[in-house]
Structure 1
Amino acid sequence: MARIKPQTLLLQSKKKKGPSRVSVPMMILYGLFIGLVVFSLFATYRHWSRRSVERMGTGLPNFEDTYVDSKKYDLPGFAILNTSKGAIFVELFKDNAPEIVDKFLDLCQKGHFKGMPFHHVIKHYLIHGGDSEGLGAAEDWISRGKLRGKLVTSPKHEAFTLGTSKSKQDSKKFELFITTAPIPDLNEKLIVFGRVIKGQDVVQEIEEVDTDERYRPKSNILIKDVILKREV
């Protein structure tokens, strides 16, 4: 038997250890398999993403409604007007006049009423403070006597109710009126958004101050600050 030369054995061993070639059909099958796996993963991702968005879409309004209600519930329902004559405790009508109450609360939190005077005091009628120094809602009554027009169905302005002028709602100004007697004729001019529950004697003391011929107090009566409360 002839002996194989070492160089020949070395060449034969290298040929045996070399990688075996993959056929073209196998490469196509591998490619299809990989493509199928990628497509399945993408389709699964799209499915669960769509379900997540649909759940959020159907659940969000309910969440927002709950949030709004809870926010409304958490809003302060009372205000304490600390005046130079004493404290006036007011209950705010969050349900009957929500927009006005929101505006009032926002101005209070900004310190808008701090140091604001009562501009007019009309005995057996009302006391008037706020941004406007004009008579506003009381002007017609003072100039021509008490109005006797047709009453509207809005809440009557009984004694010790808190209101603001309807004519100022489109501006940044805000007027405060506290009635000292039942005045139903002002329904067309004022929006009631609260009532005095404590401190009626302070309102009456302000009502008794000396005024000039234009119903302006001769001595300054100020709102020192306003404290908001959820309970009193």
Structure 2
Amino acid sequence: MARIKPQALLQQSKKKKAPSRISLTTIILFSLIVFMVVFFIFSAYRHFSHRSVNPDELVRYTSRKVGELKNIGVPKYAIIQTSKGAIAVELFKDGSPEIVDEFIQLCQKGNFKGMQFHRVIKHYVIQAGDIHSIGPAEQWTLKGKHYSQLDRSVKHEAFMLGTSKSKHDSKGFELYITTAPIPDLNEKITVFGRVTKGEEVVQEIEEVDTDEHYVPKSAIGIMDVTLEQKL
């Protein structure tokens, strides 16, 4: 058996201990995997960050929620107890917020107790309020006759509740209930509610006898107004 020379043994030992080299292909493949992972994480971050709420939308959403919280506890209905019976009215809080707020405050103060229906115009309107503050009836009757000749597509429905647009104090808060689909009265009246129950009571008041100035011959008054969340 031939003897291996010491120098040859030393070279064989170095070959066994020397670390294996990483190929260029492995390095490129590893780098590509790292790049793909980083790119995926970055893309996912951008995607979810862009899905955050737009500032303008957030303001509108917050304002709406605040408005909803403010409306909690605000009465939605008013029950007008008259000497002829009860009239239930749905209040248009969203359409006429300031008028509804004023109406609610006056109800809570008992402002409408004892208020009289001092003007009744058949097939037109019944009006309650301070009898000393009413204007001449002619302006109403002439206005109605004038509008009856116009296009009736623009009009109030029957059984709508409104008040005068003129500036008024607690005594000057007039209540109007339309008794027929009449032409638009937006120049004079702000509508803030609609009769949902008691239409027959409104019609009974409408049928009372009046004098030439449309003032009822027998007193018809409001006994009280109560506020309700539900009917």
Q: TM-score, normalised by structure 2?
A: 0.65
Q: Secondary structure at the match of 1:69?
A: helix
Is 2:157 aligned against 1:158?
Answer: yes
Question: Aligned equivalents of 1:99 and 1:138: distance in 2?
Answer: 28
Structural mapping, 1:120-159, within 5 Å = 120-136=119-135, 139-143=138-142, 146-148=145-147, 156-159=155-158
Residues 136 and 165, structure 1, Cα contact 8 Å, conserved in 2: no
In structure 2, do the counterparts of structure 1 residues 65 and 160 end up closer, same or farther at CA, with 3 Å as the change threshold? Answer: closer
Question: Aligned equivalents of 1:94 and 1:144: distance in 2?
Answer: 29
> For residue 174 of structure 1, what is the aligned residue in structure 2?
173
Residues 140 and 147, structure 1, Cα contact 8 Å, conserved in 2: no
Structural mapping, 1:84-123, within 5 Å = 84-123=83-122
Is 2:223 aligned against 1:224?
Answer: yes
Deviation at 1:187, TM superposition (A): 2.0
In structure 2, do the counterparts of structure 1 residues 87 and 136 end up closer, same or farther at CA, with 3 Å as the change threshold? Answer: same
Question: Aligned equivalents of 1:139 and 1:164: distance in 2?
Answer: 19
In structure 2, do the counterparts of structure 1 residues 139 and 192 end up closer, same or farther at CA, with 3 Å as the change threshold? Answer: farther
Between Structure 1 and Structure 2, how many residues are aligned?
168
Q: In the alignment, residue 88 of structure 2 is paired with which amino acid?
A: F
Deviation at 1:182, TM superposition (A): 1.2
In structure 2, do the counterparts of structure 1 residues 100 and 74 end up closer, same or farther at CA, with 3 Å as the change threshold? Answer: same
In structure 2, do the counterparts of structure 1 residues 145 and 86 end up closer, same or farther at CA, with 3 Å as the change threshold? Answer: closer
Deviation at 1:145, TM superposition (A): 5.0
Question: Aligned equivalents of 2:98 and 2:68: distance in 1?
Answer: 14
> For residue 202 of structure 1, what is the aligned residue in structure 2?
201
Question: Aligned equivalents of 1:220 and 1:228: distance in 2?
Answer: 24
Residues 162 and 177, structure 1, Cα contact 8 Å, conserved in 2: yes
What root-mean-square deviation, in Å, do the aligned CA atoms of Structure 1 and Structure 2 show? 2.7
> For residue 193 of structure 1, what is the aligned residue in structure 2?
192
Residues 144 and 183, structure 2, Cα contact 8 Å, conserved in 1: no
Deviation at 1:64, TM superposition (A): 9.1
Q: TM-score, normalised by structure 1?
A: 0.65
Question: Aligned equivalents of 1:230 and 1:137: distance in 2?
Answer: 37
Deviation at 1:185, TM superposition (A): 3.1
Which structure 1 residue ranges, 5 or more long, are not aligned? 1-61
In structure 2, do the counterparts of structure 1 residues 92 and 211 end up closer, same or farther at CA, with 3 Å as the change threshold? Answer: same
